[in-house]
Amino acid sequence: MQYRNLGRTGIQVSPYCLGTMMFGGMANADHDECVRMIHKALDFGINFIDTADAYHQGESEEIVGKALKGRRDDVVLATKASLPMGDDPNRRGGSRRWLTRAVEDALRRLRTDHIDLFQIHRLAPDTDIEETLSALSDLMREGKVRAIGASTVPASDIVEAQWVAERRGLARFRTEQPPYSILNRSIEREVLPTCQRYGMGVMAWSPLAKGMLTGKYRKGREQPDSLRVQYFPKAMSDAASLEAVERLIPLAESAGLSLTHMALAFVVTHPAITSAIIGPRTPGQLDDLLDGAQVRLSDEILDRIDDIVPPGVDLAPLERAAYIPPAIARTSLRRRASPDRAVVSSG
């Protein structure tokens, strides 16, 4: 295994990071099987595990905690917080009140005394970034957190967070975790160059575009019965994505590769990407993902991928997982308030 620098933290991590969103809940409720999968990944040489409190409301973290008994010191352990953990409006977000509680809860579930990388799952637009960074800085001083990062942050907010950290003398985000795949390349425009300028490590989630790049979802064919179809109906039936898949499959075959292995190799080829987050649900899926760990793509293959999906372009809808800025998500921010607004019709 060729390990890589996690930004400028000095931490060395594997180019594959084991994501655990599929461990627990309706995905894979067999804790023993999940533990065995984690052990297999570690034995293979993966030393990087990413989880989150929101993954099945803490169950994923509990599974990881079981699996790391006796092996904790060999693993770079990352988790996340800020998504809702129940109906209480204060059990979410980036406030000091919640983050200090969220870290304590995560430490208990993970059965550890420290988290190597603690990430803000999504920035809270109603919380001052200084509030969030101040709380995270104190958690680092207490030794409960070693490094901090965030997930799915626009380039402008990455810059603001770095600026605030510098001006206020606070710990800064050392990593970013964005979506990135052959079908989702928009972060190549601003996010990845921004991360490179600040020396940030980057872990790409959904490198297989929610499974579209496994070859199981084909144009004109019946969709498989899967949780992804239930949760992401638009993404899994998107016409542009399916058309691209039909062109990518023969390209992979011409190189003697499966579409899955080509897709993962594409992600870790980018110089800004530290690790691709793989998220297997079953042992068979894990085996297939590990089989492609040594694949390297030629410039010719990369050029042909660019011809199918141009750099900086998103084809696949992120659906339910993307960061939607408040200016888009909130109708009220796009309409000037007026007590005498009237409905005007033409014709």
- What residues are annotated to the active site? 55
Give the separation between CA 4 and CA 9, rounded to whole angstroms: 11
φ/ψ (deg, to 5) at 272: -85, -15
Angle among Cα 275, 298, 278 to the nearest 5 degrees reads 25
Asked if 80 and 151 touch (Cβ cutoff 8 Å), the reply is yes
Asked if 158 and 173 touch (Cβ cutoff 8 Å), the reply is yes
What count of other Cβ atoms lies within 10 Å of the Cβ of residue 73? 7
Burial class of residue 269 (count of CB atoms within 10 Å of its CB; 0-12, 13-18, 19+):
middle
What count of other Cβ atoms lies within 10 Å of the Cβ of residue 1? 13
Beta strand segments in the chain, E: 4-5, 12-13, 16-19, 48-50, 76-81, 115-120, 145-151, 175-177, 201-204, 275-278
Q: What is the CA radius of gyration of the chain?
A: 21
What count of other Cβ atoms lies within 10 Å of the Cβ of residue 308? 16
φ/ψ (deg, to 5) at 302: -65, -40
In this structure, are strands 175-177 and 201-204 parallel, antiparallel, or unpaired? parallel
